[in-house]
Amino acid sequence: MAANGLLIRLNSQGYKNWIKAGQCLLMLKDSLQGFIAAEMRSFHRDLCSRIPAPAVRGAATRCHCRAKGKQFVPGCAVCAEWKKLILHHHNNRNGEIHWENCNPSLWSTNYWEVAKAFMPRGHANKKGPEFCDASALLNLMTACDGFRGYNQSTVREVLSSDWLVEDCFYEVDGHAKEQRPTFEMAHGPATSKYDNIYNVEKLLLQQVLEETYLQIEESGALTEKNLDTLQAIKTFVSDDTALHSFLQADIERLDHLQSKIPALGHGSSCP
């Protein structure tokens, strides 16, 4: 069951709105998954048809090419051709491309390894669209010109929205113990509607920790904002056993990274 503290937290309008916005993004992710998978499989088949057949066959077994960060120097002719094709279809071809997301040796056989070349950093271990959040899937749509037939301005608008959501899912203001939310979550059965909201809260906090980890890892330094975020979440979950257990591995991962990277002084400017 959801902790009693959840109902108290939901009495904060700002916090409640954050939960609602997060649920909207989870619902968007669920709606996009099948569409993204079908479109990228079709796109991948088209790209495969442009690579010489003898080169495609067996490429995954004989290629040992690896990418590092935003750099990728192909070590074989097959990966060189794939890199050219990906760059040709990348809307950010002159900007940052996170090649480290990909295993180039699998480009010929795995459509999602190609898709990850069009996604933000931190998706190397994501095996399909179902493991990516809505923001990553929308970034894929804007970066890959295979989606040029769809309204890109609408996609970009969703990325730039500040997600102010009105009271459309549930009401918990006032007497938290007496009122009941009318919220339903599209992620399968749960023991109560409160548990559904609680599950969304846990996923959103986990995403905050993941994003903070990637920011620190990429910049190589801790900012005041990073430190404040980590400390705030630690304090937040200290009295909630279930939340602490769910997030413990993510918090420990961040603590380990923090121990290896120097923090910026309080007088320093943060990027």
Residue 99 has what pLDDT? 94
Q: Which two tokens stand for residue 188?
A: 């399968």
For residue 40, give the nearest of 131, 144, 139, 149 by alpha carbon.
144
Cα 165 to Cα 168: distance, rounded to the nearest angstrom:
8
Q: Which two tokens stand for residue 257?
A: 């990274």
Cα 91 to Cα 80: distance, rounded to the nearest angstrom:
19
Phi, psi of 225, deg, nearest 5: -65, -40
Cα 265 to Cα 268: distance, rounded to the nearest angstrom:
5
Cα 99 to Cα 118: distance, rounded to the nearest angstrom:
9
Phi, psi of 90, deg, nearest 5: -90, 125
Q: Which two tokens stand for residue 108?
A: 């010929």
pTM recorded for the entire structure: 0.71
Distances in Å between the alpha carbon of 100 and those of 89, 123, 136, 261?
A: 18, 9, 15, 21
For residue 83, give the nearest of 91, 75, 74 by alpha carbon.
74
Cα 181 to Cα 54: distance, rounded to the nearest angstrom:
60
Residue 79 has what pLDDT? 92
Phi, psi of 71, deg, nearest 5: -115, 140
Cα 140 to Cα 174: distance, rounded to the nearest angstrom:
41
For residue 103, give the nearest of 140, 58, 154, 63 by alpha carbon.
63
pLDDT, one tens digit for every residue, the chain (271 residues): 455 677 788 888 888 888 888 888 888 888 899 999 999 999 999 999 998 755 554 544 567 888 888 889 998 889 999 999 999 999 987 778 999 999 999 999 999 999 999 999 889 999 999 999 998 999 999 999 988 766 666 666 557 554 444 443 334 444 333 333 333 334 444 446 677 888 888 889 998 999 899 888 888 888 888 888 888 888 888 888 888 899 999 999 999 988 888 665 443 443 3
* Total residue length of the chain: 271
Residue 117 has what pLDDT? 95
- Cβ neighbours of residue 213 closer than 8 Å, sequence gap 6 or more: 250, 253, 254, 257
Q: Which two tokens stand for residue 71?
A: 């750099």
Q: Which two tokens stand for residue 228?
A: 């404040």
Residue 72 has what pLDDT? 92
For residue 100, give the nearest of 76, 135, 126 by alpha carbon.
126
Query: Token match 């906090």: residue?
Result: 205
